A = this chain, B = another copy of it.
């Protein structure tokens, strides 16, 4: 009877173990990475003080007339950008927003490797921050193609993607109806990381010796 029990248990284990391992393997392959972030921010953002995001001070310690201690789409976007600890790859059509520029400069000051790619024609828009970033020592390249480099995405530490309709301008943040997706989903992050590298290398000034054609009219419904 004891031998019969042993045989039964061993037989059951012999069937159940490989089946269980196969099932577990399949489940693990379909698991999300722990705590995968998927967030959507809509704009226009409420106007509120963001001073505390750049410093360790309490929101209440700022004396400016804007509302304090309010979490807004802009404050969430700034926090996502400022979460970078090793790299920020930014690929944005138009960049004139002072708060976002301040965040990028803060990262550079902290030693985060920042690369900025922007549209050649929109580098000259009123209030463009590209010159400010370059003066601070940040490497910024302009897309040299004859059409618009219309992306508006950022990659934080190669793991967090920030992308959407929002150009990094004051009008886009404070006035327009816009969206930004913030995601750690690897199937979305990976293609954008490859796209950034492709465009970054394509616009390496050392490589682009070809004559540049005039672009399409800036401001067309691109």
A129 interface residue, CB < 8 Å from B? no
Among A38, A153, A216, chain B packs the most CB atoms within 10 A around the CB of A38
A143 CA to B44 CA, complexed, in Å: 14
Are A149 and B171 CB-contacts (below 8 A) given A5-B6, A40-B191, A96-B221?
A: no
Q: How many copies of this chain are found per oligomer? A: 2
A27 CA to B26 CA, complexed, in Å: 11
Question: Is B147 within 8 A of A42, CB to CB?
Answer: no
Segment among A49-57, A59-67, A175-183, A206-214 that sits at the interface with chain B:
A175-183
Contact of A178 among B151, B167, B179, B181 (CB under 8 A): B151
**Total contacting residues, chain A, CB less than 8 A:** 58
In the complex, per-residue mask of A151-164: 1 if CB is within 8 Å of any chain B CB, else 0: 11100000000011
In the complex formed, the residue of B with least CB distance to A122 is B221
Task: Point out the residues of chain B lying under 8 angstroms from A143, CB to CB.
Answer: 177
Question: Is B172 within 8 A of A222, CB to CB?
Answer: yes
Between A and B, 18 residue pairs with Cβ closer than 8 Å are A2-B5, A9-B9, A38-B185, A40-B195, A44-B147, A94-B221, A147-B171, A147-B176, A148-B171, A150-B165, A150-B172, A150-B177, A150-B178, A163-B164, A172-B222, A181-B188, A219-B219, A219-B221
